[in-house]
């Protein structure tokens, strides 16, 4: 039997995230395991008068490529991919891994060669997003592999995912996300006036300067689920220490109990209980990798647990996250790096955040509601 | 562990059928059941130095488009397909359906419209393929649905398909090369003839082939394969033919089809089942009443009717005739939205005369023809 939540998620993506209109060309990307959602997106796009097509591939082809291809093959981008990157109006991507650790034993240098070629396309897509030519949204279709990472049964994990996307009930998910968008936008405008944030929590006392940097609401246009506000901090302004209670994951590898110490905006010490070498190697990627490119509040309270997937983890209601490495142009960043690694700090038990000396957040919640502008 | 026969099949498709070279841009597509072979083809292409991309053909999307699509949507050809046909080097399509009758309820007019929208690209890739700029192959992949349609188990059907693809030969590529050389000789023999006459039970059909080109189909664009075909001189087809096997197209079928031709056109058409459908197809356009192809099926590893045209038209000892569009390269001049192959079994009592001389009997070319 079809899961009605899959159709609601598809309708939410085409109707709200992508605002798909008649005649628009939509590419739907995913692996074979995502077929139920991919076909639901296709149907939903057809119903909106758009011109959808599927780019659904068998799982684990990249494993074959990374194992057997020459350097030149790894870096190859076909003219067809370039053409689609330039011409498509809407880009919907479904993540649905059959094994989230399939690539962990691959030579990292070969993987970088492949990824950096792919990033050229991805960067071009985001450029087109920023000029308003392209709508782009990524979501996840629940699989056993993701459920396993989350330490749940598939049925429990499905409830979790569809709950976080707000497509699990009879209520109109589009109305929900429009109201979330209004709240997050109001919160971002409120934070725009802040010069300095001070984050206090277990083994954490970090000062981050955000003066002059615009805050951006993540309201379900580019990710589903969504729910955060973020900016890129002033590069030299970060001081103090921060502890990350959740495991920090980068490209499938976990680092536990990460602690970072900052001076003059740069990491000066980095410890971890497991994976410390990996942590330090990542921070040593390049100049910008030791500097924060992002600071954000996770505000989706339907995401109430850690599941080892950044799509959800960075939005856990009551957490904050910072990212080491490259920041966001639209947030005024000056930091560039090949790294962008989100690390999540749980502030739900006894965290506090001060904005220019005033307590604004305690135990995972803002203390004052922002004034929401009526649409 | 993947079926070791798939690795061999991939070697034939990559090493022989499409002869993939370093730097080739290759598109591999098939229905979801074909993913084990897609994976082997992807691996073989990477190892051959090519740049493969793969995509799944999703029947449910096609069903939705045919059911709900607007005319604009039916007429639209996706960017990736267009690019691959206009600029790609190699296209491998795997036919491994989950349900051979999933389009039985679809509107034939809407199906025809969708096919017509792809005509310009089809013409382009056939031209490119004719100039040697593009290589494509359609490969049958055994699935439960095809086995069911053939009335056998999946493992039995797998054996049939893989035997027909010569995978049981020690070196399948060498077997295809030898077989191809035989078909080339047969093509050369037929090229010298001007008129053919087919005689069998309820069948006596004559047509001209003078000036037309016979093309040996030897595992390059179909796998399994094994036929030699041409486009008969359109106005010359005269007489009657009765097809031994059900004629299927677009998920529908007509049984025991009999056709009578006068001056190259069908003047009588009957079927014991699906006669209405048969007439509807023949009435589709002017070209649908004329013959676009005549061929000898020559793969002796295919011995029984399975309901899968890719195999049935290759059965050693049969001939087939297609109503509708001519195949480029044969010299055939018929144009139609239809190309409907129908198979006539000549293995028991069938005869073929070339310019009045008996050249083929009981499904076999007589000495001097094929060697």
Angle between helix A4-12 and helix A35-47 axes, rounded to 10 deg: 50
Chain B partners of A54 at a C-beta cutoff of 8 Å? 55-56, 58, 61
Which residues of chain A from 5 to 34 reach within 8 Å of chain B, CB to CB?
Answer: 23, 25, 27, 32
- Nearest chain B CA: its distance from A68 CA (Å): 6
Q: What's residue B41's pLDDT?
A: 98
Please compute the mean of the pLDDT values over residues A274-280 and round it to a whole number.
95
- Nearest chain A CA: its distance from B27 CA (Å): 11
Least CB-CB distance to A78: which of B47, B51, B60?
A: B51
Chain B partners of A43 at a C-beta cutoff of 8 Å? 64, 68
A8 φ, ψ (degrees, to nearest 5): -65, -40
Which pLDDT band, with edges at 50, 70 and 90, does A369 fall under?
confident
> What does the pLDDT look like over A111-149, one tens digit per residue?
889 988 998 999 999 999 999 999 999 999 999 999 999
- Tell me: cis bond preceding A225? Omega within 30 of 0 counts: yes
SS3 (DSSP) at B231: coil
Q: What's residue A72's pLDDT?
A: 97
Q: What's residue A116's pLDDT?
A: 87
SS3 (DSSP) at A125: helix
Range B4-141 has CATH code 3.90.10.10 = no
Annotate A131-200 with DSSP letters as a single string: TTS-EEEEEE---HHHHHHTTS-HHHHHHHHHHHTT-SSSS-HHHHHHHHHHHHHHHHHHHTT-SEEEEE
Chain B nearest-CA residue for A89: B79
Total-model pTM: 0.93
Which pLDDT band, with edges at 50, 70 and 90, does A375 fall under?
very low
The alpha carbon dihedral of B354, B357, B362, B364 has a sign of negative
- Nearest chain A CA: its distance from B1 CA (Å): 15
Look up residue B327 and give its DSSP letter.
P
- In whole angstroms, give the CA distance from residue A115 to residue B118: 34
- In whole angstroms, give the CA distance from residue B314 to residue B178: 17
pLDDT at A263 over 90: yes
- In whole angstroms, give the CA distance from residue B298 to residue B314: 6
Q: What's residue B272's pLDDT?
A: 96
Q: What's residue B368's pLDDT?
A: 67
Please compute the mean of the pLDDT values over residues A140-164 and round it to a whole number.
97
Q: Structure tokens of A314?
A: 């960075």
Sheet holding B135-140, edge to edge: B51-56, B25-30, B90-95, B135-140, B222-223
Domain ranges of chain B: 4-141, 179-365
Considering only CA atoms, which of A275, B252, A302 is closest in space to residue A343?
A: A275
Average pLDDT of the residues of chain A: 95
Kindly state whether B67 is in contact with chain A, defined as any CB-CB distance less than 8 angstroms. no
CA B237: distance to chain centroid? 22
* Per-state percent for chain B, helix, strand, coil, to nearest 5: 35, 30, 35
Low-confidence ranges of chain B (pLDDT < 70): 1, 368-371
Q: Structure tokens of A64?
A: 């074959």
Look up residue B17 and give its DSSP letter.
I
Q: Which of B67, B73, B75, B87 to mutate to test the interface with A (most CBs of A within 10 A)?
A: B73
pLDDT at A261 over 60: yes
Q: ipTM value of the model? A: 0.91
Sheet holding A51-57, edge to edge: A51-57, A25-31, A90-95, A135-140, A223-224
At a CB cut-off of 8 Å and minimum separation 6, what does A229 contact?
A184, A187, A188, A191, A215, A216, A217, A218, A296, A297, A299
Considering only CA atoms, which of A168, A217, A169 is closest in space to residue A191?
A: A217
CA distances for A176 relative to A4, A165, A183, angstroms: 18, 10, 11
Least CB-CB distance to B79: which of A25, A61, A76?
A: A25
Considering only CA atoms, which of B196, B204, B267, B195 is closest in space to residue B239?
A: B204
- Nearest chain A CA: its distance from B69 CA (Å): 6
SS3 (DSSP) at A361: strand
Kindly state whether B47 is in contact with chain A, defined as any CB-CB distance less than 8 angstroms. yes
The stretches of chain A forming alpha helices (DSSP H) are: 4-12, 35-47, 61-68, 71-74, 79-87, 108-130, 144-149, 154-164, 173-191, 276-283, 310-313
Tell me if A206 sits within 8 A of A198, measured CB to CB. Answer: yes
Least CB-CB distance to B73: which of A51, A56, A81?
A: A51
> What does the pLDDT look like over B124-156, one tens digit per residue?
888 898 888 999 999 999 999 999 999 999 999
pLDDT at A54 over 90: yes
Which pLDDT band, with edges at 50, 70 and 90, does A253 fall under?
confident
| B29 bridge partner residues | B55, B93
At a CB cut-off of 8 Å and minimum separation 6, what does B146 contact?
B96, B97, B100, B140, B157, B306, B307, B308
Kindly state whether B79 is in contact with chain A, defined as any CB-CB distance less than 8 angstroms. yes
Percentage of chain A lying above the pLDDT 70 cut: 99
- In whole angstroms, give the CA distance from residue B8 to residue A322: 51
For tokens 């999540």, the residue is A344
Kindly state whether B311 is in contact with chain A, defined as any CB-CB distance less than 8 angstroms. no
CA distances for A117 relative to A82, A114, B93, B153, angstroms: 12, 5, 27, 46
- In whole angstroms, give the CA distance from residue A135 to residue A120: 18
- In whole angstroms, give the CA distance from residue A181 to residue B288: 58
Angle between helix A61-68 and helix A108-130 axes, rounded to 10 deg: 130
| B295 bridge partner residues | B229, B320
Q: What's residue A274's pLDDT?
A: 95
CB contact under 8 A, A57 and B80: no
Domains and CATH numbers, chain A: 4-170 (3.40.1830.10), 176-366 (no CATH)
Kindly state whether B88 is in contact with chain A, defined as any CB-CB distance less than 8 angstroms. yes
Q: Which of A29, A40, A61, A77 to mutate to test the interface with B (most CBs of B within 10 A)?
A: A61
pLDDT at A225 over 50: yes
- In whole angstroms, give the CA distance from residue A36 to residue A321: 32
Q: What's residue A374's pLDDT?
A: 53
pLDDT at A78 over 90: yes
Chain A nearest-CA residue for B32: A32
Please compute the mean of the pLDDT values over residues A354-375 and round it to a whole number.
86
Through-space distance between the first and last CA atoms of chain A, rounded to whole angstroms: 39
Question: Is the model more confident about B280 or about A267?
Answer: A267
CA distances for A288 relative to A116, A195, A215, B57, B153, angstroms: 17, 22, 21, 43, 61
- In whole angstroms, give the CA distance from residue A18 to residue A25: 11
Q: What's residue B284's pLDDT?
A: 87
Kindly state whether B35 is in contact with chain A, defined as any CB-CB distance less than 8 angstroms. yes
Please compute the mean of the pLDDT values over residues A84-108 and round it to a whole number.
93
> ∠ at Cα B320 (B317, B324), nearest 5°?
175
């Amino acid at each position: 039997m079809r899961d009605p939540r899959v159709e609601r998620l598809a309708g939410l993506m085409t109707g709200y995230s992508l605002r798909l209109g008649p005649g628009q060309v939509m590419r739907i990307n995913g692996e074979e395991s995502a077929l139920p959602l991919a076909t639901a997106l296709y149907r939903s796009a057809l119903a909106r008068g758009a011109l959808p097509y599927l780019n659904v591939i068998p799982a684990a082809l990249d494993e074959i490529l990374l194992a057997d291809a020459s350097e030149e093959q790894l870096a190859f981008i076909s003219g067809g991919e370039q053409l689609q990157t330039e011409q498509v109006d809407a880009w919907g991507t479904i993540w649905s891994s059959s094994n989230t650790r399939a690539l962990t034993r691959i030579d990292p240098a070969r993987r970088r060669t492949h990824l950096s070629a792919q990033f050229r396309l991805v960067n071009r897509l985001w450029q087109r997003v920023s000029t308003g030519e392209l709508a782009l949204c990524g979501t996840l279709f629940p699989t056993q592999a993701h459920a396993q990472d989350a330490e749940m049964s598939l049925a429990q994990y499905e409830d979790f995912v569809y709950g976080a996307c707000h497509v699990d009930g009879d209520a109109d998910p589009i109305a929900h996300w429009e109201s979330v968008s209004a709240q997050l936008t109001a919160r971002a405008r409120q934070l725009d006036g802040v010069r300095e944030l001070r984050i206090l929590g277990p083994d954490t006392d970090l000062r981050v300067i955000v003066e002059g940097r615009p805050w951006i609401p993540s309201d379900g246009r580019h990710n589903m689920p969504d729910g955060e506000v973020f900016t890129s901090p002033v590069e030299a302004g970060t001081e103090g220490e921060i502890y990350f209670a959740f495991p920090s994951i980068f490209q499938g590898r976990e680092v536990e109990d990460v602690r970072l110490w900052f001076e003059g905006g740069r990491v000066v010490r980095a410890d971890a209980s497991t994976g410390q070498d990996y942590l330090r190697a990542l921070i040593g990627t390049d100049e910008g990798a030791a500097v924060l490119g992002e600071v954000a509040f996770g505000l989706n309270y339907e995401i109430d647990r850690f599941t080892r997937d950044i799509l959800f983890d960075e939005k856990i209601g009551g957490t904050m996250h910072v990212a080491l490495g490259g920041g966001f142009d639209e947030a005024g960043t000056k930091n560039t790096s090949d790294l962008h690694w989100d690390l999540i700090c749980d502030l739900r038990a006894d965290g506090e955040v001060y904005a220019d000396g005033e307590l604004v957040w305690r135990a995972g919640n803002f203390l004052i509601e922002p004034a929401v502008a009526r649409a | 562990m993947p079926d070791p026969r798939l690795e061999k099949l991939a070697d034939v498709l990559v090493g022989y059928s499409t002869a993939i070279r370093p730097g080739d841009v290759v598109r591999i597509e098939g229905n979801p059941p074909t993913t084990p072979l897609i994976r082997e083809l992807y691996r073989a292409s990477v190892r051959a130095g090519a740049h493969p991309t793969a995509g799944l053909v999703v029947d449910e999307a096609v069903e939705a488009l045919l059911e709900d699509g607007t005319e604009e949507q039916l007429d639209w050809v996706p960017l990736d397909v267009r690019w691959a046909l206009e600029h790609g080097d190699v296209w491998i399509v795997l036919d491994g359906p989950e349900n051979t009758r999933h389009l039985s309820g679809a509107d034939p007019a809407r199906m025809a419209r969708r096919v017509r929208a792809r005509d310009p690209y089809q013409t382009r890739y056939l031209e490119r393929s004719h100039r040697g700029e593009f290589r494509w192959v359609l490969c049958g992949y055994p699935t439960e649905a095809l086995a069911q349609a053939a009335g056998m188990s999946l493992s039995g059907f797998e054996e049939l398909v893989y035997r027909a693809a010569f995978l049981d030969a020690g070196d399948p590529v060498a077997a295809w090369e030898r077989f191809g050389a035989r078909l080339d000789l047969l093509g050369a023999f037929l090229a010298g003839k001007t008129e053919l006459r087919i005689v069998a039970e309820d069948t006596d059909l004559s047509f001209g082939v003078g000036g037309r080109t016979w093309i040996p189909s030897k595992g390059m664009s179909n796998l399994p394969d094994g036929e030699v075909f041409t486009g008969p001189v359109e106005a010359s087809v005269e007489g009657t033919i009765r097809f031994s096997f059900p004629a299927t197209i677009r998920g529908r079928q007509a049984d025991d089809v009999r056709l009578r031709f006068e001056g190259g056109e069908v003047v009588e058409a009957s079927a014991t089942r699906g006669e209405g459908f048969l007439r509807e197809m023949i009435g589709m356009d002017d070209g649908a009443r004329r013959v676009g192809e005549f061929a000898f099926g020559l793969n002796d590893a295919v011995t029984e009717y399975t309901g899968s045209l890719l195999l049935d038209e290759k059965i050693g000892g049969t001939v087939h005739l297609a109503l509708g569009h001519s195949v480029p390269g044969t010299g055939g001049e018929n144009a139609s939205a239809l190309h409907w192959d129908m198979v006539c079994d000549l293995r028991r009592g069938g005869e073929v005369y070339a310019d009045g001389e008996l050249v083929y009997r009981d499904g076999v070319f007589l000495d001097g023809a094929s060697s």
